A and B are shown apart, each in its own frame.
Chain A
Amino acid sequence: MAEEMRRNLMELMKSTDDVLGIIVTDRDGVPILKVAEEEAPELGLRPTFISTFNIATDQAGKLGMGRNSRMVCVYGRYQVVHFNHLPMVVTVIASSVANTGQLLALDSQMAPLLASLTNVVDV
């Protein structure tokens, strides 16, 4: 089952243009499922980078506009999209020229996969 989920995630990554990696982690950045191209930045796949989203999303939820669900961070050569499915976090790393709207639409495409991972992480 793990192999099939990884294969599906890989298929999703390859079918979306300019996506370099998709990582499903817990709130501290510990990976549950990870698929990445060789060109993906290695620093972006580490728990130290992904765990910053946990802090940012907590603080962003206190701005009076409800719970923070997604966050897009655009850098010089890459862009990173985080989806808040606490206790899980999905991080998509793509090149800066990727279609951000298409990356955001990956959320609905990954919904069945995330539904099957509900019991993996302790709440």
Chain B
Amino acid sequence: MGCCCSTEQENLSQDGEVNERTRLLNDPVSNTYQVTASSNDYGNHYSTSATKKSDDHSVLNQILQHTASIIDVGALECHTLEQHEYIERVRTYNQRVNAIPQVKTSNKRHHEVQLLYDTPATERVLSAQPISLADFNMMITASQKVVAAVAQIRVEHKEDLVVPFGIP
């Protein structure tokens, strides 16, 4: 009677040539990366190695496109600028920098808010009429009241700071 299995070793082709033993369907239990064969491959039993190489190349390109972080060591050559291009760019940048409009700011270096500001015509400010004595006394009285009120701020202890809870 016939048998389903054979003791002979499977003679897989070494160089990938299609023969009567070539798998038509992908091995479902295999963990290796399987190239999805195009429908043309099933009909073309005479595919050359050049076609196989181009398939590998397209698969590689597909992987490269999907992978974002590729460090291409081969492309680490410095792009040296041509002399005329360098001069042209320097000239362009100089023109653009000179064309930037002047911005009137007191101090360009410090971006933060400053405590001191330049006051022009200081003699006019200093020679102005001083404030009246009534205003001055009112300011002194008010500030003394504020100081006294702040000194009376205190914490009233009403509850314990450490409260035990959840302890049986």
Contact = CB atoms under 8 A, between A and B. Distances in A.
Interface of A: 1-2, 4-5, 8, 11-12, 26, 28-33, 47-48, 51-52, 55, 59, 62-64, 108-109, 111-113, 116-117, 119-121
Given A1-B100, A2-B100, A63-B69, A30 B109 contact: no
B90 A111 contact: no
Given A1-B97, A2-B97, A32-B97, A8 B69 contact: no
Q: Which 5 A-B pairs have the closest CB atoms?
A: A62-B69, A30-B89, A120-B96, A2-B97, A1-B100
14 contacts: A1-B101, A1-B103, A2-B98, A2-B100, A5-B97, A26-B89, A28-B89, A32-B97, A51-B81, A55-B78, A59-B76, A62-B70, A112-B109, A121-B93
Contacts of B90: 30-31
B108 A112 contact: yes
Q: By CB atoms of chain A within 10 A, which of B71, B101, B102 has the most? A: B71
A30 B94 CA distance: 11
Given A2-B98, A33-B97, A117-B100, 10 more contacts: A1-B100, A2-B94, A28-B79, A30-B93, A51-B78, A59-B76, A62-B69, A108-B111, A112-B111, A120-B100
